[in-house]
A and B are shown apart, each in its own frame.
Chain A
Amino acid sequence: MNNSAASTSSGSGDVPAPRRNSNRPKYSRFTQQELPACKPILTPRWVITVFTLIGVIFVPIGVAALMASNKVVEIVYRYDAVCIHGNTKDEKVAYIQNANTSKTCIITLTVPKDMDQPIYVYYQLDNFYQNHRRYVKSRNDAQLKDSDKANDTSGCDPEKTTPDGSPILPCGLIAWSLFNDTYSFSIGNQNLTVNKVGISWKSDRDHKFGDNVFPRNFQNGTMKGGASLNESIPLSQQEDLIVWMRTAALPTFRKPYGKIEQNLRVNETITVIIQNYYNTYSFSGKKKLVLSTSSWLGGKNDFTGIAYLTIGGLCFFLATAFTVVYLVKPRKLGDPSYLSWNRNPSGH
């Protein structure tokens, strides 16, 4: 205490005792903000190298992706327009909603190239909003998995219960609107078997849909949505439902219908008998039948390949441009004379 004033006194022999010594900062590289650090700066060489490198990596990947995509043989057939009677939308809707009309529709597909098995059969819907807020939430996962929770229909509005109040299983709009077109394939007069087992995710069958949960009161309401379900088959084996319940994020989507485990040769003609039940006419949605092989990148999709090639090309272009600019107009890095306060106008 008192040293601050006393230390100025003359003739005093007292040495001021160290004050507040504990306040002394402890030195460490962290506390002094002096941790070893590397400070990369954007030198032309570094940037040009990076862009060149990206180009070098991107172009081969792009070529590979494009090749993979090209190898995929795909047959897409839009059938919603041909499999309907009526010209106006109302007529179409009336036709599709009439339970008594025949919905059978026969189309033929020609195989453009050899297709090796397995050939995946997809149905594709356009303009169908499985991601609609009202739709996507209308399900109850607990009910699907657990037989004890069959009555748990919370969140399933407006397809919770039948008008008499018994709970629907599976409840909710998603299940209710289950896709119900069917396809049968034949080449010549030989049936083409479509294997519908294993089209859904195994994890869904094992853990999301119970093997002792059976459909109940399904499609018994006043309004019939989509497909009905066989009440004697547990949900875990209702693969069409499982696939449908994996909602799509985009309004255009494909869902697996089955697999053709047989090679198809070029120019073979496939006859498809379509039962065109599903109503996409009221909202002008398209329905397509897709047969496709697959590659290491999945189905036919040129986007990745083209994007990679474009970006690779752009990177080369940038690298070249930077090099040219660097050579034409070199600028010394870190020249202090560039600093505005060193450019002294008065000439000192």
Chain B
Amino acid sequence: MPQLVGWSREEFNEEAQRLVSALKGLQKSSSASQEFLSDWLLEADGNAGHGGGFFLKHPSVTRIVRVDHQETTETEEEHHHEEEEDAFCDDTILQDDSEVMADPIAVDTSNDGNKSIHHSDHSSSSFVCETRWHFSIVYSNTWKAPIFYFTVENMNDNSSPCPRSDVLQILMTFSHYNRVEDAWEFLSHEEHPISRIPSFFLHPCQTLERLQTLLKMQSTMNGTENGADCSNCRLLSWLSMILPSVGYSFPSKLFQELQEQLSLPSLEGATTSGSEVDPS
């Protein structure tokens, strides 16, 4: 039974490498979650100091979220924002009305599909919003565990970053698990250790204990069926625990497949790929 007495950086680095190769090897499918998983990249962590290390980064993902809208305090600011923007309009700009068609960027369910979205429509009780997410997983020396960082942008609003209140609302729509009164319990905000961009992260306090419990459960369930040693699956298990909080499911079949693959003895010369260009 693997003990989480210490999840060292070296262990994390190794698991990260193996996980990314295993994920890359997945066959393309139409499952959104699977696509999401297979896109994780391994990048060099310049901050690792001793001996170098890796962190996992995901290319930006565009997601449509449906939020039960409550009046936010941003309302007045937004209106101001709009008036201000219009004040800068320049009517001398060349346009070609006969040929150009306004492009509806996001779906506004209360109007007909062709109308261009205006983001301050507070009349509808729920609205659909296109958001862009940036994810990364970085090992933390302080917590001796990986930390899941992310930022969210509101594409309806010139890709402005979403403030904490909006992100909390979005997360609550993802799963019942997230519906806690005081969501600070798991969502925190700090500078990303590598990009230095203030990012949200899921607080690691409780994750280690939960992970321990999860791994115990897994061990007792698996028993000695296939002699699988799950010490390489920590990152995988951790990921399967974290993803539902941000609205991705981890199909169990996929999990088992990956678990089996990771349990195999590691191959020599595991390659690292830091570039998006895929020579295959």
Binding between chains A and B: no
Binding site for B on A (CB under 8 A): none
Show the binding face of B for A, using Cβ within 8 Å.
none
